[in-house]
Amino acid sequence: MFESQRDAARGQPVAWCLGALVPASRRRINRDLEPIKLKLGAVVCEAGGHLKHAYFPEGTVLSLLTVLENGSAIETANIGREGAFGLFAAMYSRVSFNRCLVQLEGGMVRCPIRFSRLSLATPCTPRKKECADGS
């Protein structure tokens, strides 16, 4: 793992989206990141749910499910530390199109969407185009 992908304060791997930011952008978002751990199967957001945070997996894996009319669900994507959940919603409607749940327990950080919207209005410059969003 590259040193830029380590959180110096905690000495742990960071989400690649955050690690890909140039230092000035990272400092701007860093103060509002909150580390969280959710249990296996925990629902991060229901389809059609109102998102309050953008989530950046560090060790956890999130599963995105498309919910069908009959209530059954199909897994359509997985998000690990290479991606994020809720970034597109932060920029637009704040509504999730998918059910998102924890498929593999581990750490992640989240950022309030109110801050994400302000931060995204002021460009956060990535070092590389590595970030994928699953909202």
Give me the DSSP letters along 75-119: EEEEE-TTEEBSHHHHHTT-B-SSEEEEEE--EEEEEEHHHHHHH
Q: Tell me: pLDDT of 110 over 60.
A: yes
pLDDT for the residue numbered 4: 40
The CA distance from 131 to 71, in Å, is 31
CATH class of 3-122: mainly beta
Q: Tell me: pLDDT of 64 over 70.
A: yes
What average pLDDT does the segment 37-58 reach? 93
Q: Tell me: pLDDT of 5 over 50.
A: no
The CA distance from 75 to 93, in Å, is 22
pLDDT for the residue numbered 37: 93
